[in-house]
Amino acid sequence: MSELLEVIKKRNPHEPEFHQAAEEVISSIKPVLDNKPIYRKHKILERLLEPERQISFGVNWMDDEGEIHVNRGYRIQMNSAIGPYKGGLRFHPTVYPGILKFLAFEQIFKNALTGLPMGGAKGGSDFDPKGKSDNEVMRFCQNFYLELHRHIGHRIDIPAGDIGVGGREIGYMFGAYKKISNEFTGVLTGKGVGWGGSLLRTEATGYGLIYFTENMLNHIGDSIEGKTCLVSGSGNVAQFAVEKLLHMKAKPVTVSDSSGFIYDDEGIDKEKLAFIKELKNIKRGRIKEYADKYPSAVYTENKGDESSNALWDIKADCAFPCATQNEINAKDAQHLIDNGIMLIAEGANMPLDNEAVNLVLDSDIIYSPGKASNAGGVATSGIEMIQNFMGSYWSKKQVDEKLKEIMTEIHQNCLLAAEEHGHKNNYLVGANIFGFTKVANAMIAQGII
Ligand SMILES: NC(=O)C1=CN([C@@H]2O[C@H](COP(=O)(O)OP(=O)(O)OC[C@H]3O[C@@H](n4cnc5c(N)ncnc54)[C@H](O)[C@@H]3O)[C@@H](O)[C@H]2O)C=CC1
Ligand SMILES: O=C(O)CCC(=O)C(=O)O
């Protein structure tokens, strides 16, 4: 299998995040490849690691001062064996094909785990929404969508949000879509409630993460109630993970942004969470302002030269990395292990680097990969698509029950697949094998094409 990784590295040079995601999957699905030679014969892994289609385009837009800017837009349509392409759009200056390929590759497995008919894709741009006015963001989204629309459709490829793309951006893109196509279909998910969006889609990734965690803890006869929790990020996933932790009587004590983190040992309560939501979603300010407002909190700034992140050196019961990829390295993982953390559930995509994952797997920590524990977001996007096809809306209760049911099934399927292949209670192996098998069988049935 190391030969395949070498081929991937050669075919996709200078894309370390994609190599990392490939390596994690290649190494963990070995048991199923050994048991079922048909998957090797059909070169399933090789085919999964080559995008079915990659689109790259220029996006020109004008800022409020009349200056013209040039960004790059992308859509990576990775695999459509089990359904139309589905996955978010990321607007962040670090976006390049290597990041999007890792995310699109992960999305194949995640979407298969949801049990819904969705293939894997991801897209975005190196545009940075930080510090831009609403009008600038609108002009960018319209120009980005002008090209993107040629490649997507409600039965072809259905993008949604990710880092830097939330309700505001989806709204501007949906407006552009309607103007161009003169129709109203669910071509994007994460739409506003009242114009095609599903109740609870905004909350779904964070809520689903905590539902999944509760399943993991129930499995060992425990529960999240009363647990002290570290959360990183302060965006969509982090906010609603904190909210669900509060609903379930746990005690979240940290949140972060790219400048630093706050530690509030009295706990982030409902009122403080409302402050975070207002700060991040409306004022678009920095998390430092939390510590200016609440004296119980201490703010630690990232200096940019740290070899580890002090957030992961705080003693707690559970850790929920919900910011971005590779935010936990081996040193951070060792701190979590030394401090006796009992559970790490990934809210972000690939927040642990592979060295950190291996350390955690060798410890007693209960660990879930993002493709399993953060799948509630895309699952609820799938529920939004169902509502759009039906031309009606589900109640909050219906969506929440379905989300809970899906997270419970993912949990169960990970455990069953892991045990069947001799890796009892290893959620990483279980998630990869379950997702791989489902997609591989569909690819074999559809022939070599
Ligand atoms: N929005 C969704 O439905 C889903 C998101 N995810 C993943 O969850 C993670 C967070 O996404 P969202 O909350 O949607 O994005 P967001 O844009 O709402 O929030 C991102 C958060 O991460 C922080 N952040 C970004 N770069 C950082 C860095 N280098 N260091 C520390 N903090 C940093 C930002 O300050 C912000 O608080 C990403 O990995 C995303 O791929 C996964 C599944 C679904
Ligand atoms: O809701 C979606 O379609 C995609 C969400 C996403 O980007 C992810 O699961 O990482």
239: exposed, middle or buried (C-beta count within 10 Å: 0-12, 13-18, 19+)? buried
CA of 374 to the centre of ligand 1 (A): 11
pLDDT at 378: 98
Largest CA distance in the chain: 63
- On the question of pLDDT at 1 being above 80, the answer is no
The finding on whether 169 has its CB within 6 A of some atom of ligand 2 is no
- On the question of pLDDT at 375 being above 90, the answer is yes
- Dig out the tokens for 419 from the structure: 């045990």
Strands 297-301 and 343-345, bridge-based pairing = unpaired
- For the chain, domains (ranges, CATH) are 51-184 (3.40.50.10860), 202-373 (3.40.50.720)
Q: Which of 97, 127, 112 is nearest to 18 (CA)?
A: 97
Kindly list the protein residues whose Cβ atom lies closer than 6 A to any atom of ligand 1.
Answer: 161-164, 166, 205, 233-238, 256-258, 322-324, 327, 347-349, 374, 377
Residue 347 CA, closest ligand 1 atom number: 8
Strands 68-79 and 119-125, bridge-based pairing = antiparallel
- Residue-wise pLDDT for 75-124, tens only, equals 999 999 999 999 999 999 999 999 999 999 999 999 999 999 999 999 99
CA of 27 to the centre of ligand 1 (A): 26
CA of 142 to the centre of ligand 1 (A): 23
**Ligand with the closest atom to the CA of 88:** 2
- Residue-wise pLDDT for 148-183, tens only, equals 999 999 999 999 999 999 999 999 999 999 999 999
The answer to whether 374 and 351 are in contact (CB under 8 A) is no
Give this prediction's pTM. Answer: 0.98
The answer to whether 150 and 176 are in contact (CB under 8 A) is no
As annotated, the active-site residues are: 122
Residue 186: strand, helix, or coil: coil
Residue 32: strand, helix, or coil: helix
Beta strands in 26-162 (DSSP E): 53-62, 68-79, 85-91, 119-125, 157-160
- On the question of pLDDT at 230 being above 90, the answer is yes
**Ligand with the closest atom to the CA of 370:** 1
Gap between the Cα atoms of 190 and 378, Å rounded? 10
Tell me which residue has its CA closest to atom 3 in ligand 2.
Answer: 87
Q: Which of 60, 76, 80, 56 is nearest to 68 (CA)?
A: 60
**Ligand with the closest atom to the CA of 198:** 2
Checking ipTM against 0.95, whether it exceeds it is yes
The finding on whether 381 has its CB within 6 A of some atom of ligand 2 is yes
